Structure 1
Amino acid sequence: MVRPSLASAAAFLVACLLAAPLIVSPASRAAAQSTLNDLHKAEAVVEAVWRDLPLGFRRALFIEPDTANGYGVFVARESNVFASGEALVVYAEPVGYGYRPIEGGRYTFGFDVDFLVKRPDGTILAGQENFERLSLTSRERVREFQITLKLTVRGLAPGSYEVVFRTRDIASDKEATMTLPFEMVE
């Protein structure tokens, strides 16, 4: 007697379920449509609030290198202390950015980013305009967008500093800065 393996039995069950017609009662269908309508109304309210928001950041922090794998998917760095030549990697979640419609019913959005490295007293030690351009094209107005910035700093004496990233929205005239203090050690 041949007994099917658990895997083949599971595969057979899945195939049967996929082949079966979906039976939904009219009441269930109406409830689902009502729920979808409520969702669309709520999304319209969120979109209106989003448009009125100034550009800002829900979260901005140093993370471990190579750990940003999507929105909310990262490993936070436990300290803001860096050695010369070590990469400062920043993860940020922007809010309030715009969307520019493009062909095919799609949208483009993102940022041009400048940076400064300063002493806490405001003395600028380094910087670059248009350091990075981060953008995305989508069929949806995506609000879960994360940016990751990597900057390697060399030649700073041990001490306290700040890195300032100025982000300029590519789809509107909005801009915002994020400032993260950090320490350099030998």
Structure 2
Amino acid sequence: MQMKSIMAVLMALAISTPCAFAGEIGDRAAEAEKLLQSGDGAGALDKFRSAEEAFWQAMPLAVQNVKQVDTASGFGIYSERANHTYKPGEKIVLYMEPIGYGYGSDGLGNSMIALSVDITVVSAAGETLGTSEKVGRVQVASRSHNRELFFKLDLSLDGLPPGKYRCDFLMHDENSNKTAPFTTDIEIAG
């Protein structure tokens, strides 16, 4: 390949590749790759984790893997409910995995994760039936910046007549101003 062709390919790649490798996150990841290539696996992992930390802090709060469950006892450890239909007064249990949250301090040398959730119940016709703030809260103290966190929310929607409903949630990160909306549908059997 001629030098002009090589330069043209490199220019095309530089123009077509968005700033994916630019900035602090990309720099740290590149350093991790160099350390790995030199045989320093532990150093590479530390540098890669610092890239992950920078990425985590830059990303918005989001809620993944929202499931209606029968039980939930840990991250990825849940029994998904067969349907979204409930008897009047039956407890609704949600499992979710928040990402992008911040870390505070508990004053004892631990990082503190603190999240809360608000709910708005909407009828099938689109009418807002009510909103409640902080229907659930999770607070976790840890020596490290945990990324695998699950949030189990037990809901009681007593008083809803039979019908289909949409539950709109807003998660709040109490260590930042980040929020994340998410939604799930339920039905109260007649």
Distance in 2 separating the partners of 1:47 and 1:89: 31
Distance in 1 separating the partners of 2:61 and 2:93: 21
- Give yes or no for contact 2:135–2:155 (8 Å, CA) kept in 1: no
Work out which of the two has the higher radius of gyration on C-alpha atoms and give 1 or 2: 1
Residue 136 (structure 2) aligns with: 132
Residue 47 (structure 2) aligns with: 41
Distance in 1 separating the partners of 2:92 and 2:110: 33
Residue 106 (structure 1) aligns with: 110
Residue segments in structure 1 that go unaligned for 5+ positions in a row? 1-32
Distance in 2 separating the partners of 1:120 and 1:175: 25
Residue 62 (structure 2) pairs with residue 56 (structure 1): yes
AA at the equivalent of 2:129: L
Q: How many residues align?
A: 153
Residue 74 (structure 1) aligns with: 78
Identity across aligned pairs (percent)?
Answer: 32
Q: Please, what is the CA RMSD of the aligned residues? A: 1.8
Residue 94 (structure 1) aligns with: 98
Residue segments in structure 2 that go unaligned for 5+ positions in a row? 1-38
Q: 1:160 aligns with which of 159, 164, 180?
A: 164
Residue 145 (structure 1) aligns with: 149
Distance in 1 separating the partners of 2:93 and 2:84: 10
- Give yes or no for contact 2:98–2:150 (8 Å, CA) kept in 1: yes
Residue 174 (structure 2) pairs with residue 170 (structure 1): yes
CA deviations 1:112-161 (Å, max 9, x no partner) are: 22112111443122331122221111111111111011112223232210
Which sits farther off after the overlay, 126-135 or 145-154? 126-135
CA deviations 1:79-137 (Å, max 9, x no partner) are: 11111111110000000000013434321112122112111443122331122221111
**SS of alignment partner, residue 73 of structure 2:** coil
